[in-house]
């Protein structure tokens, strides 16, 4: 059955691994966000119940509860500002956070007044302040300072009789004292994840930069030598043109040979960077798919390095990319072995239901043309929920193609 599943992803669409990483980071942020807002909501609920249980102003529970919900919602603005902070410039965006801070101060003043609690008066502004994007090391000192200050105010409230003695009266105070530290600990885990992700990205960029520098150095050394020789030969030919035409012609011919050598050297250099033994290609594909979370079965012939790399290499790279981008992400099977017809490579994976029915992309068409030039065949199967690409290349023709590509 001929397949209609897509094998090439549109340019700019991230791979499955990149999408999974982005989803993991986003999910971690929402866990962090949920932890902070849940702590605040729970604290508002506890203080509201305490206001109901305590004799005094009948409006106290309404102020504490309704005002606490407004303060709770304003915290989302602070968390949004924290999520989109720029570490290179850890300044505080006062235009974004002015309103949440005013709401926290107003809520603390009203709630503290109606409940006669200095602790409740300071707690909202203390919690909002620790959620700001402070420079490195500053936030820890602020958390310690606010925690100590809140503890002192709780002790003063207790001495003044503002809180009922015993566990029920001290429960709201306990949460009010600890909430800045608990919120910052949640944000700390998020900061660790962001730092690790940026370090991994920086390492990848550094590796790519080092590889480009190495290639540039090799090209510079190769071309610099040949160009210097050609320049000397042409200069000598120019000097001999009027004195000895035959000698000048010899120098021009030598310069042409040097040009051919430079061109061949550049071609050999490019081939050296591009050529990877087929056994390594399949092993790299297996490791990449395993790292993406797929259960991979691989069967690689012991003499796989003898397979035609120029014909099968693009197939391995193209199909591996397509498994990551369009597969369902559960399992894959890779096979490279000798057959009577030559060499056979097969890759099979589970099909992504959302991608089913889309047309085959142009990437596989290019691979098909390359395989046809090598005298091989390419087959596509979509059976039983698995998508498979099978390529067969004659051994002799494939080796000839390899030698032809390195000339």
For residue 315, give the CATH number of its domain. Answer: 3.30.565.10
Which among 182, 201, 220 is the end of a domain? 201
Give pTM, 2 decimals: 0.45
Query: Would you give the distance in Å from CA 300 to the centre of its chain?
Result: 30
Six-digit token string for 32 = 């962090």
pLDDT confidence bin for 164, thresholds 50/70/90: low
Section 289-318 average pLDDT: 81
Q: Tell me, yes or no, whether 258 and 345 share the same domain.
A: no
Which among 255, 274, 293 is the end of a domain? 274
Q: Tell me, yes or no, whether 320 and 376 share the same domain.
A: yes
Residue 17: its pLDDT value, please? 47
Residue 165: its pLDDT value, please? 46
Q: Tell me, yes or no, whether 330 and 357 share the same domain.
A: yes
Residue 401: its pLDDT value, please? 42
Range of the domain at 238: 203-274
Q: Tell me, yes or no, whether 262 and 304 share the same domain.
A: no
Section 399-406 average pLDDT: 42
Examine the pLDDT at 116 and tell me if it is beyond 50.
yes
Examine the pLDDT at 384 and tell me if it is beyond 60.
yes
**Average pLDDT score, the chain:** 75
Which among 274, 298, 328 is the end of a domain? 274
Segment 51-69, tens digit of pLDDT = 777 766 677 788 888 888 8
Q: Which residue has the higher pLDDT, 28 or 273?
A: 28
Asked if residue 1 is part of any domain, the answer here is: no
Cα separation of 42 and 72, whole Å?
10
Examine the pLDDT at 6 and tell me if it is beyond 50.
no
Percent of the residues in the chain that have a pLDDT greater than 70, as a whole number: 77
CB 336 within 8 A of CB 282: yes
Total domains in the fold of the chain: 3
Segment 166-188, tens digit of pLDDT = 444 577 778 888 888 888 888 88
Q: Which residue has the higher pLDDT, 155 or 168?
A: 155
Query: Would you give the distance in Å from CA 251 to the centre of its chain?
Result: 56
Cα separation of 203 and 208, whole Å?
9
Residue 353: its pLDDT value, please? 62
Q: Which residue has the higher pLDDT, 399 or 282?
A: 282
Q: Tell me, yes or no, whether 32 and 180 share the same domain.
A: yes
Examine the pLDDT at 15 and tell me if it is beyond 80.
no
Q: How many helices (H) and strands (E) does the chain have?
A: 11, 5
Segment 76-105, tens digit of pLDDT = 888 887 777 654 444 556 667 788 888 888
Residue 159: its pLDDT value, please? 77
């Amino acid at each position: 059955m001929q397949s209609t599943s897509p094998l090439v992803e549109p340019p700019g669409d991230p791979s499955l691994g990149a999408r999974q990483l982005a989803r993991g980071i986003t999910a971690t942020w929402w866990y962090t966000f949920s932890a902070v807002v849940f702590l605040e909501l729970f604290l508002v609920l506890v203080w509201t119940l305490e206001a109901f249980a305590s004799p005094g102003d009948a409006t106290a529970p309404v102020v504490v509860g309704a005002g606490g919900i407004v303060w709770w919602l304003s915290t989302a603005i602070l968390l949004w500002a924290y999520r989109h902070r720029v570490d290179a410039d850890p300044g505080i965006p006062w235009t974004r956070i002015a309103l949440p801070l005013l709401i926290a101060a107003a809520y603390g003043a009203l709630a503290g007044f109606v409940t006669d609690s200095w602790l409740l008066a300071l707690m909202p502004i203390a919690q909002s302040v620790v959620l700001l994007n402070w420079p490195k090391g500053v936030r820890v000192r602020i958390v310690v300072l606010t925690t100590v200050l809140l503890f002192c105010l709780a002790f003063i409230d207790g001495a003044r009789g503002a809180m009922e003695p015993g566990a029920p009266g001290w429960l709201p105070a306990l949460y009010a004292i600890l909430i800045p530290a608990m919120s910052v600990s949640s944000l700390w885990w998020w900061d660790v994840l962001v730092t690790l992700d940026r370090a991994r990205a920086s390492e990848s960029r550094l590796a790519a930069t080092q590889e480009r520098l190495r290639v540039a150095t090799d090209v510079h050394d190769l071309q610099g030598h040949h160009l210097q020789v050609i320049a000397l030969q042409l200069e000598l030919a120019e000097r001999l043109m009027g004195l000895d035409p035959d000698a000048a012609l010899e120098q021009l011919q030598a310069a042409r040979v040097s040009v051919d050598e430079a061109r061949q050297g550049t071609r050999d250099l490019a081939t050296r960077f591009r050529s990877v033994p087929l056994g390594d290609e399949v092993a790299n594909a297996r490791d990449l798919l395993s790292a993406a979370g797929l259960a991979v079965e691989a069967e690689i012939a012991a003499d796989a390095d003898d397979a035609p790399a120029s014909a099968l290499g693009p197939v391995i790279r193209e199909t591996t990319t397509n498994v990551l981008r369009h597969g369902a992400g559960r399992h894959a099977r890779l096979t490279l072995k000798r057959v009577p017809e030559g060499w056979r490579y097969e890759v099979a994976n589970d099909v992504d239901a959302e991608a089913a029915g889309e047309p085959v992309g142009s990437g596989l068409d290019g691979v098909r043309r390359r395989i046809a030039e090598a005298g091989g065949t390419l087959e596509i199967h979509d059976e039983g929920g698995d998508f498979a690409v099978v390529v067969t290349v004659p051994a002799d023709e494939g080796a000839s193609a390899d030698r032809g590509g390195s000339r």
